[in-house]
Amino acid sequence: MEFTTSIYDEKSIQTLEWHEHIRRRPGMYIGQLGNGAEPKDAIYTLLKEIIDNSIDEYTMGFGKNIIVDVDERTATVRDYGRGIPLGSVIKATSVLNTGGRFDDSVFKKSIGLNGVGTKAVNALSIDFYVASYRNGECSWAQFSRGQLQDSGRDTTKEKNGTYVRFTPDEMLFPDFAYRMDIVEQMVRNYTCVKKGLIITLNGIQYRSENGLPDWVKYNIPEPPLYEPIHLQGDDIEMVLTHYDGSGTNIGSFVNGQYTIDGGTHLTAYKEAVARALVDFFKKDYIPDDCRQGLVGAIYIHMQDPIFASQQKVALQSTHIRKTESGDGLTIRSFINDFVSRNLDNYLLSHKEVAAIIEKKVKQAYRLRQEINEIKNRNKSAKSSHVYNENLRDCKVHYGGRISKEMAQYVNQTSIFITEGKSASGTVTEARNPIYQAVFSIRGKSKNSYRSSDAKVLENAELRNLVAALGLSDGLAGLRYNKVIVASDADDDGMHIRLLLITFFLKYYQDLIRAGHLYILETPLFRVRTKKHNRYCFSPDERDAAIAEFSKGNEKVEITRFKGLGEINKKEFHDFIGENMRLEQITIDDAEDVQSLLAFYMGENTAERQRFIMKNLRSENNNEAS
């Protein structure tokens, strides 16, 4: 084995300026960079860090109005709080671990904690401007990539508060753009947990009249079976209801912060609600019966919360408050005690609501019994992922355990769901067997929307698919980071794609909400000459290739692919390698999933036929016909 000779001495030790460290290691501070296509992309974290400061001002009783303006590239936030102390504007925005959140008398139960967020925004912006207004005076500073460009102090007629304008640096965020639907959802989250707060986004005013129940109203996929139950106490607020569907959607918040990945408070909420309902009905139900179709929210207030990262996407604190003698009350006990006492009292005094909930729970109970009967009838079938005849697994999962050698590939794991032997063979030969698996289905699966639950779950291939993915016991068992539907680009392939998405929407919404489901974009055409060979994913790309290659007066050959099996296996490797084109399947929190399924996968109505004809695209001109 050969080693590269290098000298490791005092010259190798570097001390980076604060902004250099943030720019070299942005993931430590703001998570995944991205281009703005997903809610977890860092440009939304940058915006959130600035708005969080304004929310903390409101929490302390200063400034109920926040004005946010966002275009595709630049964001501004103006609050009417106390304003940054005028002599500390530069220090508060450019010196790490500097801020007012360390003084509990100035900021109690705040979102900002470590004096890092605003500095990260500053360092990662090509343009960052901050102005603080206090009692007729203004102190301002302008930075670029964390370096001070100019500053000053003037008199002003502006009301007290803070103004921040920033434009993320394209060197770090190439081709980025803010999606207004994501920003709007962020704003709604803030107003729903801060009742009375008014946020004006691009001239449109957002406020919540009811607080947390409004969050449930905006995020429930269809009308609730009963009026949401709203329970409030010291440092805790929660809402719950059910709808006529499966899955669970619970929003979780800490000090005004929306914890998109949940955490200890969300886990405790799910456990507490299910346990309280099981105990109340005193029947042979299990917690999962009570969680089917459950929609709700949990909001807790606490001093110095501990989050999983600087992005504050998940709460890690185990205790709601601490005492001098020890750790004090755990979050789990705090939430369990509150739910057990208050939900039980509510149901005792609202017997009509209790009856509706039990009817829903009983439906889930009967479905579970039905599924167990199906499993028992098929218990001789080898349906685990180890013996799954449809699965060509990756090396990460060989033997059922993940070795130390394979652990580095866990986050890269993916599984392609293909149809037919030809497509399965092509993908299997072209994949990276270390972390890419292939699951092959035969023909079209059942329409999960129109079939009974028992009929769908009795289907051997769908059962094998669930086992292969590791979803038999829910999302916690998922074996692959990306679940990729790889169907042909013809009519049958599109139908298979819809059927699979429908299956996941109906039974495994959590898989989609967690961002694991994708569609593989495969080439529709090959444009070839003696000198060139290009695969094209759309008629536009095909036409551009034809125009480019025709300039040399070469004979151009065009192939229209009907299936994955027609594509050269060696070349197909590029389509599922580093340059793989994936389209993520997402659910808007306010989207009515049941209505979507009814429209696209229900009865073939005249309305749907008109929609298809209106939106049908011609392959020849790529225009709506």
pLDDT tens digits, residue range 205-248? 999 999 999 999 888 878 899 999 999 998 899 999 998 877 78
CATH number given to 212-374: 3.30.230.10
What band does 619 get if pLDDT is binned at 50, 70 and 90?
Answer: very low
Q: How far is CA 444 from the centre of its chain?
A: 29
Q: CA 64 to CA 194: how far, in whole Å?
A: 10
Q: Answer yes or no: are the C-beta atoms of 252 and 266 closer than 8 Å.
A: yes
Same fold? 212-374, 381-522+570-586:
no
Tokens 């905006």 identify what position?
218
Quick one: fold of 18-206? Heat Shock Protein 90 (3.30.565)
pLDDT at 621: 39
Asked whether residue 345 carries a pLDDT value surpassing 80, the answer given is yes
Question: Does the predicted model carry a pTM greater than 0.75?
Answer: no
Helix (H, G, I), strand (E, B) or coil at 178: coil
Q: CA 576 to CA 569: how far, in whole Å?
A: 11
One-character DSSP codes across 565-584? GGS-HHHHHHHTSTT--EEE
Phi, psi of 502 (to 5 degrees): -60, -40
Contacts of 601 (CB under 8 A, 6+ apart): 447, 448, 449, 450, 498, 502
Tokens 């679940």 identify what position?
483
Q: Answer yes or no: are the C-beta atoms of 300 and 254 closer than 8 Å.
A: yes
Q: How far is CA 43 from the centre of its chain?
A: 14
* Domain definitions of the chain by residue range: 18-206, 212-374, 381-522+570-586, 525-560, 592-625
Nearest to 283, CA basis, from 228, 362, 390, 336: 362
- Residue 371, CA distances (Å) to 109, 357, 408, 456 in order: 46, 21, 37, 10
Q: Answer yes or no: are the C-beta atoms of 582 and 484 closer than 8 Å.
A: yes
Q: CA 476 to CA 307: how far, in whole Å?
A: 20
- Per-residue HEC secondary structure of 203-246 comes to CEEECCCCCHHHHHHHHCCCCCCCCCEEEEECCEEEEEEECCCC
Question: Can you tell me the mean pLDDT for 103-130?
Answer: 72
Q: Answer yes or no: are the C-beta atoms of 450 and 498 closer than 8 Å.
A: no
Q: How far is CA 262 from the centre of its chain?
A: 11
Asked whether residue 622 carries a pLDDT value surpassing 60, the answer given is no
Asked whether residue 392 carries a pLDDT value surpassing 60, the answer given is yes
pLDDT tens digits, residue range 549-570? 887 778 889 988 777 777 777 7
Q: What is the largest CA-CA distance in the chain?
A: 86
The residue among 93 and 369 whose pLDDT is bigger is 93
Q: Answer yes or no: are the C-beta atoms of 61 and 81 closer than 8 Å.
A: no
Asked whether residue 591 carries a pLDDT value surpassing 80, the answer given is no
CATH class of domain segment(s) 381-522+570-586: alpha beta
